[in-house]
């Protein structure tokens, strides 16, 4: 079997664009994938076609996925999220072809079912909310859908050192939300890498007094594992991070340092499904759980799901599906993989979903639409189409 054609489709999803892929083979099997990267979808699309398609994809045997990806990672030379996201898209597409060719869902080919319950934590639900009462009211609607965990950023446009008022506002939001949903619902606090070590520890000391904090995510810049480890070593909270770590050597250092309690690799950015399994194994050896980051489109999220199902140290899977733009599920034929706060176990071969051509055509991309988290635009417009 050989890949004979690669198609890419840029599509809008509110304040993000998604980059979906189709890989056609000489045996008639079409694999689908995704290579979305915030702000950089067009760059990823270009490198896919100008470098990887010509040199590696056309003529490749999708079953040789390990060797193919090893050569792409080695040969692209400069590294970085654009190249690795492109490689991830190719790798995931190969697995979809393999699964379809063998008549098996991908998880059966990479370990089988290790978990029959895949809990989801809600993200994307809090757009436009600014004061504690607004957060609390919206959180109740999330719990009503069956979710037992939710993530949110209470820090407004804060950067590095929080003022006393910014700290007070953030803790009031978290406390109000916790009171609204009750102690059985886990709250995951999103830092977006905003804070200095000093401010992160100030926040952590306040959060430690609350009963339902599940983890504190990216409290400090993702560029420094040493700063992350410092925060982790000085708080009782679980620390989560890793969505902006991309290479196996960096993840090896992350795990060897035990820089966080939960590693949040993004299957769509680290090279695909096999690299995700490798990172999960590194993490397991250090008693670290994984909870994949999945803030882009439904195909990337589905790829993460197959890793979750088949890997023992899985913790929980991020879910935007019910809080994204209304047409998110249209891209995959109307399928919603979430039911009562849990992910459904797919049974169809490959990824278990298909792209809808008409839906992709109906939502052309919008240039430069991803908001800055530091200028207020994201608070006003995040989830504006939801």
Residues acting as catalytic residues:
192, 293
Distance CA 189, CA 380 (A): 20
| SS3 state of residue 24 | strand
CB 320 within 8 A of CB 296: no
Distance CA 325, CA 14 (A): 6
Distance CA 217, CA 237 (A): 10
Return the closest-CA partner of residue 236 out of 278, 193, 201.
201
Q: Give the DSSP letter string of 313-335.
A: TB--EEE-GGGS-TTGGGGGTT-
Only one residue has tokens 């169809």, namely 348
**Which pair of tokens denotes residue 143?**
């719990």
CB 173 within 8 A of CB 153: no
CB 283 within 8 A of CB 255: yes
List residues bridging with 219 in a β-sheet: none
Report the b/e string of 182-213 with b at 16+ CB within 10 A: eeebbbbbbbbbbbbbebbbbbbebbeebebb
Distance CA 207, CA 221 (A): 19
Residue 54 phi, psi dihedral angles, 5° rounding:
-70, -40
CA distance from start to end of the chain:
42
Only one residue has tokens 């695909």, namely 272
């Amino acid at each position: 079997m050989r890949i004979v054609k690669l198609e890419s489709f840029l599509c809008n999803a509110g304040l993000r664009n998604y980059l979906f892929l189709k890989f056609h083979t000489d045996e008639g099997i079409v694999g689908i994938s995704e290579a979305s990267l915030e702000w950089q979808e067009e760059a990823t699309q270009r490198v896919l076609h100008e470098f990887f398609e010509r040199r590696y994809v056309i003529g490749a045997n999708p079953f040789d996925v390990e060797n193919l990806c090893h050569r792409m990672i080695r040969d692209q030379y400069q590294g970085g999220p654009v190249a690795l996201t492109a490689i991830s898209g190719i790798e995931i597409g190969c697995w979809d072809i393999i699964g379809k060719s063998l008549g098996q869902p991908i998880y059966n080919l990479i370990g089988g079912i290790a978990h029959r319950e895949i809990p989801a934590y809600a993200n994307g639900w809090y757009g436009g909310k600014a004061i504690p009462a607004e957060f609390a009211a919206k959180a109740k609607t999330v719990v009503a859908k069956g979710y037992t965990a939710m993530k949110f950023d209470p820090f407004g446009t804060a950067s590095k050192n929080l003022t006393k008022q910014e700290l007070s506002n953030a803790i009031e939001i978290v406390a109000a939300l916790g009171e609204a949903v009750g102690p059985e619902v886990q709250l995951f606090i999103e830092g977006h890498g905003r804070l200095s070590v000093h401010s992160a520890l100030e926040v952590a000391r306040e959060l430690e007094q609350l009963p339902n904090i599940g983890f504190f995510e990216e409290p400090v810049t993702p560029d420094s594992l040493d700063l992350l480890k410092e925060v982790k070593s000085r708080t009782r909270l679980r620390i989560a991070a890793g969505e902006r770590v991309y290479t196996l050597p960096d993840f090896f250092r992350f795990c060897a340092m035990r820089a966080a309690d939960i590693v949040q690799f993004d299957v769509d950015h680290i090279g695909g499904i096999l690299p995700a399994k490798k990172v999960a194994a590194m993490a397991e050896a250090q008693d670290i759980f994984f909870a994949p980051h999945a803030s882009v489109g439904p195909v990337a999220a589905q790829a993460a799901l197959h890793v979750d199902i088949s890997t023992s140290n899985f913790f929980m899977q991020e879910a935007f599906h019910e809080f994204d733009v209304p047409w998110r599920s249209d891209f995959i034929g109307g399928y919603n993989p979430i039911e009562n706060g849990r992910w459904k176990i797919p049974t169809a071969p490959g990824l278990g979903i298909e792209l809808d051509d008409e839906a992709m055509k109906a939502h052309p991309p919008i240039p430069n639409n991803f908001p800055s988290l530091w200028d207020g635009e994201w608070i006003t417009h995040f989830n504006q189409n939801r």
